Amino acid sequence: MVDDILAQITENLLKGETESVVTLTGQALTAGIEPLMIINQGLLPGMEIAGEKFSRGEFFLPHLLIAAKGMQEAMALLEPELSLRQETPEVLGTVVIGTVHGDIHEIGKSLVGTLLSVKGFQVHDLGVDVPGERFVEKVKETGADILGLSALLTTTMIGQREVIEALVEAGLRDRVKVLVGGAPVSQSWAEEIGADGYAEDATGAVQVAQDLLEGKS
């Protein structure tokens, strides 16, 4: 029965059946299945498969966003139970993420944040149109391992350079890896501004973040 419910959670997450995912998550809790087991054997496999399908072109952005919504709503149900049991999923590292000043594009950045959370990162999403000093403050406050800077316009991508310069001025640059992305951003731009990593899509950003944390980049 346990395996059946967990498999159904995975299946419905992939189908984009958000209400069913939440219902099944509640049923799993009622059946006495541990919250961490629901996450690790039901929700996470579904999101990982969705990410793989997205990478292969079998899923498109709406599919991934719907799956992420199902994951988020199920997690909202599980988090109180995790707190009661004083359990938390393993945290790989801490990430601060946001869209740079002057840019209000949300979807890509939010998707990266969601997928990083799924992989086990603790994510602090600062939103859009974030001033450079706010990034610096949050990195200092959280001791972040990685800072993700999104820019979707050629006119705002310069903000990524400005944030890196602000980190240098604050004496924090050596303490955090900087990952940049967005439609106009490229590997050569990342190298030019002194970023540590670049990704062209959300699933790639997760892999680069993992590599940066492991010292591969």
Task: Encode pLDDT of 31-72 as tens digits.
Answer: 999 998 999 899 989 988 998 898 789 998 888 889 988 998
Q: Whole-model pTM above 0.85?
A: no
pLDDT for residue 64: 85
Reported as a single tens digit per residue, the pLDDT across 18-32 is 999 999 999 999 999
pLDDT for residue 83: 82
Tell me if residue 70 falls in helix, strand or coil: helix
* Model confidence at 131: pLDDT above 60: yes
Instruction: Please state, in angstroms and rounded to a whole number, the distance separating the CA atoms of residues 29 and 180.
Output: 39
What the chain holds in terms of domains, given with CATH numbers, is: 2-84 (1.10.1240.10), 93-213 (3.40.50.280)
Average of per-residue pLDDT across 108-125: 87
> How are strands ordered across the β-sheet holding 146-150?
121-125, 93-99, 146-150, 177-181, 197-199
